[in-house]
């Protein structure tokens, strides 16, 4: 399939740090996110053109905080959450904290919320930070989620969404890119799946989309995930299920010729299920300082 361009420069900018970097309540997003290979940038917490989700209508959503940065995640099991591999580099795994049952990120003591540290982090063995292939990470929590109205599991999809299928995503982030402030509440967005061949043609991603990637676009013109819904689930089907994990987009999140891309969970379902049963052989992430 050929090289997809180097994403190396973004290794130092996996997640855009919040000003102050002190806890869930930090709000501003300083500076610009560097692009990689001239085309792509990893998504950081933000939905442009979406709307606030009904409180606890997506009880599977989890908020992954790493120091002053963040990603989305999905609760698959009482001890496991799924996110993107680029969200949590090995050196930062001991800093990770996952909040479940959250709606308003300014209030991490919100009723119905539980907080966990990361017991083990299991990236897909084929994850490639240059091509962004296999951008998946399973997080084992240092405790068990108590299921309730605000905290529920979501299943994995059994079929790849077809082109034209309507799906959705959610995350905490910038609703208006002009002011650069994170949304205090969970935002959601309806999207449609694009044909992979079209997404890979010379007008769009020019051959950079791998066989386990899913391109999608917002239903409304100018709507898209951006700067931070990385790691959040692409949810499809009449019975909501995780069909993908948000991975990357172009420099301009709303560029119609560089649509956002998710990693397929359907094509990695056996690996995900194996890790949920057996773990990945690491009981606790190493503290690398």
Residues annotated as catalytic (active site), given as ranges: 86, 135, 230
State how far the Cα of 250 lies from the Cα of 80, in Å rounded to an integer.
30
Distances from the Cα of 89 to the Cαs of 11, 34, 85, 187, 201, in angstroms?
Answer: 9, 17, 7, 25, 31
What's the token pair of residue 288?
């690398």
In 61-201, beta strands by DSSP E: 61-66, 69-77, 80-83, 96-100, 114-123, 137-141, 166-174, 182-193
Where helices occur in the chain by DSSP H, the ranges are 196-199, 269-278
Q: What SS3 state is found at 82?
A: strand
Q: Is the dihedral of CA 221, 49, 76, 16 positive or negative?
A: positive
- Which residue do the tokens 């019975």 mark? 239
150, 112 in Cβ contact below 8 A? yes
């Amino acid at each position: 399939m050929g090289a997809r361009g180097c994403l190396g420069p973004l290794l130092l900018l996996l997640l855009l740090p919040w000003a102050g970097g002190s806890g869930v309540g930090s709000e501003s997003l300083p500076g610009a996110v560097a692009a990689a290979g001239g085309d792509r940038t990893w998504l950081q917490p933000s939905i442009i053109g979406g709307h606030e989700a009904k409180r606890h209508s997506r009880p599977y959503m989890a908020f992954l905080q790493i120091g002053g940065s963040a990603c989305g995640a999905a609760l698959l099991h009482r001890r496991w959450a799924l996110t993107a591999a680029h969200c949590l580099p090995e050196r930062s795994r001991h800093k990770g904290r996952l909040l479940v049952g959250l709606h308003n990120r300014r209030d991490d003591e919100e009723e119905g919320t539980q907080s966990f540290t990361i017991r083990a982090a299991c990236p897909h063995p084929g994850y490639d930070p240059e091509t962004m292939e296999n951008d998946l990470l399973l997080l084992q929590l240092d405790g068990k989620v108590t299921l309730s109205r605000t905290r529920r599991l979501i299943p994995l999809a059994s079929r790849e969404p077809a082109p034209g299928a309507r799906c959705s995503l959610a995350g905490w982030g910038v609703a208006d890119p002009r002011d650069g402030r994170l949304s205090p509440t969970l935002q959601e967005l309806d999207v449609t799946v694009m044909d992979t061949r079209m997404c890979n043609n010379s007008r769009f991603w020019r051959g950079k989309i791998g066989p386990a990637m899913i391109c999608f676009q917002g239903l409304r013109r100018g709507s898209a995930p951006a700067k931070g819904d990385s790691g959040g689930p692409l949810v499809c089907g009449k019975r909501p299920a995780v069909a993908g994990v948000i991975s990357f987009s172009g420099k301009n999140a709303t560029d119609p010729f560089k649509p956002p891309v998710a990693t397929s969970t359907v094509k990695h379902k056996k690996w995900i299920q194996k890790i949920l049963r057996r773990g990945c052989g690491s009981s606790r992430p190493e503290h690398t300082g």
